[in-house]
Structure 1
Amino acid sequence: MKIVRELVDRKNSVVLVDHDPRILMDADQLIEIGLGAGKEGGRIVTQGTPLEAEKNPHSLIGPYLSGKESLKVRTRATEENMFENGSVKIKTKPFYTVKALDVSIPKGRMIAVTGVSGSGKTSLVIECLVPALQAVIRGSKLPEHVYSLEAKGIQSVKVIDSKPIGANVRSTVATYDGVFDDLRKLFARTPDAKAKGLKAGDFSYNTGKLRCPVCDGTGIISMDVQFLPDVDTICPSCGGSRYGKEAYDILWKSKEKDSVSVSLLDVLKLTVEEAADLLHEETKIAKQLKILQDLGVSYLTLGEATPALSGGEAQRLKLAYEMETPQQGSVFVFDEPTIGLHPQDVKKLILIFDHLIQLGATVIVIEHDLELVTNCDYIIDMGPWGGTEGGRVVVEGTPEAVAANPESITGRYLKQVLAEDR
């Protein structure tokens, strides 16, 4: 922010795309777009000073600027019962700029690994802990730089990152979530499908009879342009729907409303929220769509291609399968999951982490966002600085313990957040 102010003082205009209330409060002018995401967004909600945003009843960021809305949303474990579920203990050898480490991680808790950039957070978690856990689970040799690991009861380790979900044009929100399989079965049970002898497999746009014969179910065609890269364009036959004309004739009819009848193509054009409202009487499908709503991606359309999703959307979609299965013995690792998220989305993310913990998981986040960190049960603070001036554990413990440690850089800022929460 000091650099930004120097740019402004030199008569430059600086435009920041950001969600952090501390940065927004320092802005001369704030433009908020919303209200919601997808179809619910796309217009200016408020434009003016941060104080004007605070006073705007329609503003979603305003309550976070004024402090009326808090991100403290979960009850943390006490210091006394922190390790009652056991622990994962790792000892490492010196590597890169990281010193030899001896760390205990409480199981069944939400743990933040903090520290300034270059302090060794990623080295500890991604380069040591994750491959060591994978080795123990497989029964293979520990990584060269890991001295020992105790991980009794750990059966899986899952790194949930914000990398795009592949480049497969056939992958959509519905297929990735798994709800598409049940949608195909639903339409296969309709009288229209039975009259034509169609099965669930026929509704697949990858291999089914109903897929568009021109684009082969991809919704696009590639044009070979000589001396130039291929050009992708929407299929002129199906208009991007991926299906042939016969698919429009297979209709699902609501038992509650006689006037409501839709094709599978119509359903795939709906947002998650719209589909949940339409198909609420189909219990299994409604349950799967409810998970996507809880993950904060209710504005995505079911037929939306997953390679087009943002990093945050991809991250949350990857969690959809995990939300309703027992996670005893699972370790989830998130590398800076709050990047690009609005405070409301951060709040949803914290509740998702808490739900995973209730299912039996251990959740580890590499994080800088102080509000998320204060919701964690346990903190491992690396540093104190980066490079050769860091690489060791400065302090471990509750947020209060870190805030009380004079050597912790994170603690200095954490102390202010904890005071605001009180």
Structure 2
Amino acid sequence: EEVEVIYKSDNIKSYKIKKIFEGIIGNIKRRWRETDSLTMRDELSKYQSSTTCDACSGHRLKAEALAVKIDGKHISEITELSVRKSYDWFQGLTTKLTDKENEIASRVLKEISERLGFLNNVGLEYLNLSRKSGTLSGGESQRIRLASQIGSGLTGVLYVLDEPSIGLHQRDNSRLLQTLSNLRDMGNSVLVVEHDEEAILSADHVIDMGPGAGIHGGEVVAQGTPKQIMSNKKSLTGKYLSGKLSIPIPAERRKGHFAGKKRKEIVISGASSNNLKNITAKFPLGLMTCVTGVSGSGKSTLTIDTLYKAVARKVNRNRVIPGKHDTITGLEFIDKIVEIDQSPIGRTPRSNPATYTGAFTPIRDWFSSLPEAKTRGYKPGRFSFNVKGGRCEACQGDGLIKIEMHFLPDVYVKCDVCDGNRYNRETLEIKFKGKSISDILNMTVEDGVKFFAAIPSVCDKIKMMQKVGLDYIKIGQAATTLSGGEAQRVKLSKELSKRSTGRTLYILDEPTTGLHFEDIKKLLEVIQALVDMGNTVIIIEHNLDVIKTADWVIDIGPEGGSGGGMIIAEGTPEKVARVKDSFTGYYLQKVLKYK
């Protein structure tokens, strides 16, 4: 349809033109098609959703390919099975084939069964064969690669693994460790970066780095067998392994918030997304709750896909589609929901802890109020590396130059104009206590707290990062160099520095990933502080040190995939430990017996 458009401007007279109105959907489609900007695509993707293809019903193949069947199943029906079910199907296939067919297929079936067996042994029996790789967690991806290496049968190889136990329940951990032992027994060397107690104790040789983190680390504190590490007085890891140090169990569990005699809680009824079996889950408010269960049991589906998205849609007005459920009640007791995940705090080197936590704004204000800055007429914007003026234009305030490698990951090199300082010479001439704005950004959090001790607006925000155990990172450290665990703790520190209403619901997904025993102890102190303010914290977790300190536990299972999706136990850790059908309860008994 042709419409009349009137253009108005301050400089020229208004004029009219007639043009065809493409419509809102047409406009979005055109902009999506024409743009090269990732930011614009992210924005436009909010108006899109994925639906199953009508032509192939989601099978991805033509009708001719799907017409070929073995034992009544086409290839897509097989790939939609879990690893465990497909393994059983291939095992039973030999009895249904003729002698001639078995002779033809024997080598192929043997290869398929072995590879599925490897996936089974590394704790991935719940995954569907057709699962998209982009939806896998880091731990799952690593274990798939591990399974493929076992199948290769190579010897004399040095394998390096970074926390293979991520996302694994204690029950599945022993199978993973057995797989690593098998790799070793084949004549290979296996080097594992790990914090898991069971993994460390099963190692032949341990190298303990420390004594602290960042500038306080970088030394070999102890090395030898696990027993030798435990007897070494300098080793913090050894003290936790031997039991000399431990994360304490709370003297008493919180009761939560009550309205009269009725406990305040958020109740989700009829949750049936993915593998959830039409369950009703109750999340008490004012408590620290752990959602537990074996890998693939449905923890994330219930907590992130259903609870978080349903609450965020209604309370935060987010445009998200929650997992399938009937009703959700109790939202009147909270005023916002926050998911603190391990995603990066920014995508460019300009994003850093100072900008994310809000500490950089008062730092820039302080520098602009210095006599020399006032004389030169410098405003706070002069000390920003996001706008022109004070920043180095060669690197546009990054301090680094990005070199595109096309078929390889991009490489960052130090800017040779500003020498990585981000600012131009004139800006760097403004100094406070002999330090330029660049020197401040290169300070560690620990040094920053001392340096800004007399300036509460800066010190308070930096001190929160110190509280969550990040005293070793630099105030202006590029977001691209922070680990997932560090990024998550920066987000936690930001939440801690906010004025609490006592009505916030926080959701954390495996916050102990990448953390040492001592780091977990500090993290728990921060989480408990959030709950003490009246807030509610829900954590998806496998780590028993975290689970034992929770006020409430919801255990989902009993198995992963189609064998899970039910609430097996709920209550205090002591109550869950007494439930015979709960795998989490079985392992909780071992850590609670010392109470």
The reply to whether TM is greater than 0.5 is yes
Higher normalized contact order (CA 8 Å, seq sep 6+, divided by chain length)? 1
Equivalent position of 2:328 in the other structure? 149
- Residue from 379, 382, 392 that aligns with 1:212: 392
Q: Given the superposition, is the C-alpha separation of residues 223 and 96 from structure 1 closer, same or farther in structure 2, using an over 3 Å criterion? A: closer
Equivalent position of 2:476 in the other structure? 303
Alignment of 1:8-407 (within 5 A): 8-72=184-248, 74-77=250-253, 81-82=255-256, 84=258, 86-137=264-315, 143=322, 145-151=324-330, 152-207=332-387, 209-222=389-402, 232-253=412-433, 261-324=434-497, 325-407=499-581
Q: Is the 8 A contact 1:215 1:242 kept in 2?
A: yes
Q: For residue 315 of structure 2, give the secondary structure of its aligned residue in structure 1.
A: helix
Q: Distance in 1 between matches of 2:453 and 2:237?
A: 31
Q: Displacement, 1:382?
A: 0.5
Q: For residue 44 of structure 1, give the secondary structure of its aligned residue in structure 2.
A: strand
Query: Percent identity between the aligned chains?
Result: 39
Letter in 2 for 1:30: V
TM-score, normalised to structure 1, is 0.92
Q: Displacement, 1:159?
A: 1.1
Q: Displacement, 1:294?
A: 0.4
Q: Report the structure number with the largest CA radius of gyration.
A: 2
Q: Displacement, 1:347?
A: 0.7
Q: Distance in 1 between matches of 2:244 and 2:446?
A: 28
Q: Distance in 2 between matches of 1:182 and 1:400?
A: 47
Q: Given the superposition, is the C-alpha separation of residues 172 and 96 from structure 1 closer, same or farther in structure 2, using an over 3 Å criterion? A: closer
Equivalent position of 1:258 in the other structure? none
Q: Deviation string for 1:135-167 (max 9, x for gaps)?
A: 332579984611111122222111111122231
Q: Distance in 1 between matches of 2:199 and 2:545?
A: 14
Q: Distance in 1 between matches of 2:405 and 2:320?
A: 51
Letter in 2 for 1:20: D
More displaced stretch, 195-204 vs 360-369:
195-204
Letter in 2 for 1:365: I
Q: Distance in 2 between matches of 1:141 and 1:230?
A: 32
Q: Displacement, 1:28?
A: 1.6
Structure 1: runs of 5 or more not aligned: 254-260
Q: Distance in 2 between matches of 1:72 and 1:230?
A: 45
Q: Displacement, 1:336?
A: 1.0
Q: Distance in 2 between matches of 1:416 and 1:288?
A: 39
Q: Given the superposition, is the C-alpha separation of residues 19 and 222 from structure 1 closer, same or farther in structure 2, using an over 3 Å criterion? A: closer
More displaced stretch, 172-181 vs 6-15:
6-15
Q: Displacement, 1:63?
A: 1.0
Q: For residue 555 of structure 2, give the secondary structure of its aligned residue in structure 1.
A: strand
Q: For residue 133 of structure 1, give the secondary structure of its aligned residue in structure 2.
A: helix
Q: Is the 8 A contact 1:74 1:354 kept in 2?
A: no
Q: For residue 189 of structure 2, give the secondary structure of its aligned residue in structure 1.
A: coil
Q: Given the superposition, is the C-alpha separation of residues 150 and 223 from structure 1 closer, same or farther in structure 2, using an over 3 Å criterion? A: closer
Q: Displacement, 1:328?
A: 2.1
TM-score, normalised to structure 2, is 0.66
Letter in 2 for 1:38: G
Q: For residue 435 of structure 2, give the secondary structure of its aligned residue in structure 1.
A: strand
Q: Deviation string for 1:308-351 (max 9, x for gaps)?
A: 11000010111222103204221111111111110111111111
Q: Distance in 2 between matches of 1:138 and 1:349?
A: 26
Q: Distance in 2 between matches of 1:34 and 1:288?
A: 27
Q: For residue 15 of structure 1, give the secondary structure of its aligned residue in structure 2.
A: strand
More displaced stretch, 350-359 vs 2-11:
2-11
Q: Displacement, 1:282?
A: 1.7
Q: Given the superposition, is the C-alpha separation of residues 143 and 339 from structure 1 closer, same or farther in structure 2, using an over 3 Å criterion? A: closer
Structure 2: runs of 5 or more not aligned: 1-176
Q: Deviation string for 1:183-214 (max 9, x for gaps)?
A: 11111121211221212221112225221133
Q: Is the 8 A contact 1:19 1:343 kept in 2?
A: yes
Q: For residue 338 of structure 2, give the secondary structure of its aligned residue in structure 1.
A: strand
Q: Displacement, 1:172?
A: 1.6
Q: For residue 323 of structure 1, give the secondary structure of its aligned residue in structure 2.
A: helix
Q: Is the 8 A contact 1:73 1:350 kept in 2?
A: no
Q: For residue 251 of structure 1, give the secondary structure of its aligned residue in structure 2.
A: coil
Q: Displacement, 1:229?
A: 8.8
Q: Deviation string for 1:229-283 (max 9, x for gaps)?
A: 9764322110111111112321213xxxxxxx22212111111111212221222
Higher helix fraction: Structure 1 or Structure 2? Answer: 2
